[in-house]
Structure 1
């Protein structure tokens, strides 16, 4: 039974990490609705490593190209616009998210992880995503954008440390409002997620290390593998979906999700 539970947690983590609906909120709420234990911060943190590995694997060819070109010019990576953008966009979540969460971990665990907080944030995110969805499609992309755009998206990403916001949801929406092309907005969000998700998992793990020691290793590996596979599916199909569709489907879902939680308080 424990193996099945960890596989289930991995599926939810992998799918909802990249679909703009909040993975942490779904791990907690769905577990509650179907009557199994809330996985908690420690397990959520470990499963996030599966999502990071999926991102690295999915974009492996992009990284390989950078490595090959870097061998021709030792300073190539340092001067790449995209790499600098990812580094700049990661600054806010490192300083704002990481420091706050390490200093006041119980505030996030006890208050902002509550069902009421998750429901209200889900509804607020639906409004924000709607504004992004009706915004005029821009021409900014991975090759043509300003570093100020990266920093703005990075600041929005810092809100994702609060359960219910959704890292992909808030970064994609911010990019769209800033005038990004839909497909590249999603791709930049995912690339920005590599350092962000990794660092978030490390911080979560540090703050809940004692709980982590109680986890059983074999079922945890099944959960990680489940997260890896479901993350790959989510990345692949969401990039394809957003290329020709908007956020309406996810907006409706977030409204329904928030209302269902409120009705069950």
Structure 2
């Protein structure tokens, strides 16, 4: 493995970790970062890059597992005896199903049509407008949130959040953004929606990683292990600090700043693509 490829893997892993749990779309940022870095190469072709971008999500998920290790351990220990643990697990299963089913049916077509900078930019801007609308709507209501803890989420709430998560199959939408903002729209507090989004990421992203590894196993070789390891470790470290920062941030702030970031970023992509300033790879 050459040093340039290692550096690109490191940068991609950092981008994944920093963006996976913020409402700004990790997939969108990875597509754009890959394009700018010219990551696909003869030694690491496009099919391997696409698999790399999915596999390194495991690093970000391990960061969440570590941050919530006490809650996760208590849930696993009580899954056969405690109603609260059973309820959380069932809610996660129900919320996981919509994206899993739609992903299996349409993921190939979505990758063919939408995994490109301009569609990602349009999704960035569209998602930002939804965030601004939900935040303005919440600020206009004085009533407290209906649900303030992940333990109080109902099966219907979980299913609706799962449907919101399915929207993130469109790259640039943001899985965390769809689940957090969707949860807030359905009556969850900012903290409860964020934490449920973190927990829901565990089965969703692990399933995507395992499925992709199995499906594309023939494309991998032992020589690819160092690249995958660098990206996964970088994603773990950056996601660990990002999750801790986000939990502190949402205690006193809303998500408006992320919406404006999405709009600005989306406009920059559209302008540079239209003018040819940046040779985005389609």
Shared topology, TM-score over 0.5? yes
1:142-181 to 2 correspondences below 5 Å: 142-181=150-189
Aligned residue in 2 for 1:2: 5
Q: What secondary structure is seen at the aligned counterpart in 2 of 1:92?
A: helix
Alignment partners' CA distance in 2, 1:10 and 1:214:
19
CA root-mean-square deviation: 2.1
Is 1:219 aligned to residue 227 of structure 2?
A: yes
What is the TM-score when the length of structure 2 is the normalising length? 0.84
Is 1:59 aligned to residue 68 of structure 2?
A: yes
Alignment partners' CA distance in 2, 1:109 and 1:239:
32
Contact 1:10–1:227 (8 Å) recurs in 2 = yes
What is the TM-score when the length of structure 1 is the normalising length? 0.89
User: Which ranges of structure 1 fall in alignment gaps of 5 or more residues?
Assistant: none
Aligned residue in 2 for 1:194: 202
Q: What secondary structure is seen at the aligned counterpart in 1 of 2:251?
A: helix
CA offsets 1:42-74 (integer angstroms, 9 cap, x no match): 11111011122222111111122234445xxx3
CA offsets 1:64-103 (integer angstroms, 9 cap, x no match): 2234445xxx3336863222211111111121222322xx
Is 1:124 aligned to residue 126 of structure 2?
A: yes
CA offsets 1:141-182 (integer angstroms, 9 cap, x no match): 313232111100001111222211110001101011111111
User: Which ranges of structure 2 fall in alignment gaps of 5 or more residues?
Assistant: 41-45, 139-143, 274-282
Per mean C-alpha deviation after superposition, the further-off stretch among 4-13 and 23-32 is 23-32
Q: What secondary structure is seen at the aligned counterpart in 2 of 1:8?
A: helix
Alignment partners' CA distance in 2, 1:25 and 1:13:
10
Contact 1:45–1:202 (8 Å) recurs in 2 = no
Aligned residue in 2 for 1:99: 105
Alignment partners' CA distance in 1, 2:214 and 2:105:
12
Counterpart selection for 1:247 from 255, 268, 281: 255
1:19-58 to 2 correspondences below 5 Å: 19-34=22-37, 36-37=39-40, 40-58=49-67
The alignment of Structure 1 onto Structure 2 pairs a total of residues equal to 258
